[in-house]
Amino acid sequence: MIAIGLIKEGKIPEDNRVALTPEQCKWVQENHKDVKIIVQSSKTRCFSDNEYRKAGIEVAESVSKCDILLGIKEVPVNDLIENKTYLFFSHTRKKQPHNQKLLHAILEKKNSLIDYECLEHEDGQRIIGFGFFAGVVGAHNGIMAYGNKTGLFKLQRVYKQSNLRELIHTYFGLKLPNIKVAVTGSGRVSSGVLEVMNLLGIIEVEPNEFLEKRFSYPVYVHLKGQDLYKHHKTGLYNRDHFHAYPQEYVCNFLPYTKTADVLLNGIYWEEHIPRLFSKSDVQANDFSIKVIADITDDQNGSVPINLGDQPIEDPVYGVDKTTLQKTTAYQSNTVDVMAVGNLPNELPKDASRYFGEQLIKYVLDDLLKDGSDIITRATIVEEGKLTKHFEYLNEYAAG
């Protein structure tokens, strides 16, 4: 018998998502007779202890009897139990300083660590992620902020709805003004954004139409890599080349800053990738963007006026167009920025259900059997030792 524990999230602020919903736990137990799931009691999880009990799942204060422990966010060092296999987002593979002690403790306590972020299909596509729901919530919040700023319409908060279906109901009867929305990115975040565009009845137009035409109804343009970047010499875009040599590319986004009202940003960004625009572009008289939902959410990243994160309850701040300093949102001289690092927590039940589905489909069988290439590539630590793929973390983990 293999015992799997769903751990109570210990990171502050506490995450309300979970790796398997009550229904999914029930399904796993019914379809894997050799598996028992124990849920660690939690008052803040999006599914209550009682919902698990009703599904026939044991709820307990401790999961120390379990072999495999599933969490979401980083496990506090003092909560780590020795000799267990943990799965969670450890945020250690880029040597993040704030998690150095955690990796060190995992080695000391002879744990194994499989990081969800490193679970990838053969072609490098990530198996598990919450991007779609970040896109849904971020797009909603961006359009909501535009409504708040202009007073033209009012959208409700996502986290006050119990799930995505209920959120969709709140869109009934809503008539948006003829705004122009620029959507960037081609991953899961942007697919969540496009879902909301369609649900809100915002119509897709081509880049040239978006730049040149006026519309009497709300429109959006979807800008992917090939629309956003070109090689500084050849003027061409090649995806693999761009990923390898982003510093050789320039960004074509500037004209959109002079016609869009809202930017919903979902591109992948890292240091050498050109930014969408520069800080000083915001000061130009013809900078037309009033609201930016920076769903990607890198401080001073693709959106250079991302001046840091906000909590879910208060997601938007203003950036003064003259001083470029953070200020109160929704003033006449501000570009209003929505920047939240845990957007999927506004739709925790849907996000958890999706997460569990991917886990069951692509990971669980391998985890219960002898492992697989997917599991091997995502295993950072095995029984207290860094694996071959992650030996580069040696110094970091020792510190």
Ligand X SMILES: NC(=O)c1ccc[n+]([C@@H]2O[C@H](COP(=O)([O-])OP(=O)(O)OC[C@H]3O[C@@H](n4cnc5c(N)ncnc54)[C@H](O)[C@@H]3O)[C@@H](O)[C@H]2O)c1
Smallest gap from residue 138 Cβ to ligand X (A): 6
Which residue number, 52 or 355, has a Cβ lying nearer to ligand X?
Answer: 355
Smallest gap from residue 249 Cβ to ligand X (A): 10
DSSP bridge pairs for 231: 249
| Secondary structure of residue 108 in the 3-state scheme | helix
The two structure tokens encoding residue 208: 């040239």
Contact between 212 and 258 (Cβ < 8 Å)? no
Smallest gap from residue 374 Cβ to ligand X (A): 16
> Tokens 């599991």 label which residue?
375
User: Which of these, 40, 12, 43, lies nearest to 25 by C-alpha position?
Assistant: 40
Question: What b/e string do you get for 101-116 counting C-beta neighbours within 10 Å, with b at 16 or more?
Answer: ebbbbbbebebbbbbb
Smallest gap from residue 63 Cβ to ligand X (A): 27
Return residues touching ligand X (CB under 6 A): 126, 129-131, 134, 185-189, 243, 246, 266, 268, 295-297, 340-344
Which residue number, 71 or 266, has a Cβ lying nearer to ligand X?
Answer: 266
Spatial distance between the Cα atoms of 306 and 104, rounded to a whole number of angstroms: 32
Which residue number, 109 or 126, has a Cβ lying nearer to ligand X?
Answer: 126
Which residue number, 50 or 300, has a Cβ lying nearer to ligand X?
Answer: 300
Spatial distance between the Cα atoms of 9 and 92, rounded to a whole number of angstroms: 18
- Residue 9: left if φ>0, alpha if ψ -120 to 50, beta else—which one? beta
Which residue number, 160 or 239, has a Cβ lying nearer to ligand X?
Answer: 239
Instruction: Specify the amino acid at residue 291.
Output: V
Within 8 A by CB and 6+ apart from 84, the residues are 66, 67, 68, 69, 111, 112
Smallest gap from residue 383 Cβ to ligand X (A): 30
- Cα distances from 396 to residues 91, 93, 114, 116, 265, in angstroms, run 13, 10, 18, 20, 32
Smallest gap from residue 164 Cβ to ligand X (A): 16
Which residue number, 346 or 382, has a Cβ lying nearer to ligand X?
Answer: 346
Contact between 380 and 387 (Cβ < 8 Å)? yes
Which residue number, 355 or 390, has a Cβ lying nearer to ligand X?
Answer: 355
Which residue number, 6 or 134, has a Cβ lying nearer to ligand X?
Answer: 134
Smallest gap from residue 242 Cβ to ligand X (A): 6
The two structure tokens encoding residue 252: 């074509």
Smallest gap from residue 125 Cβ to ligand X (A): 7
Spatial distance between the Cα atoms of 56 and 183, rounded to a whole number of angstroms: 44
| Secondary structure of residue 249 in the 3-state scheme | strand
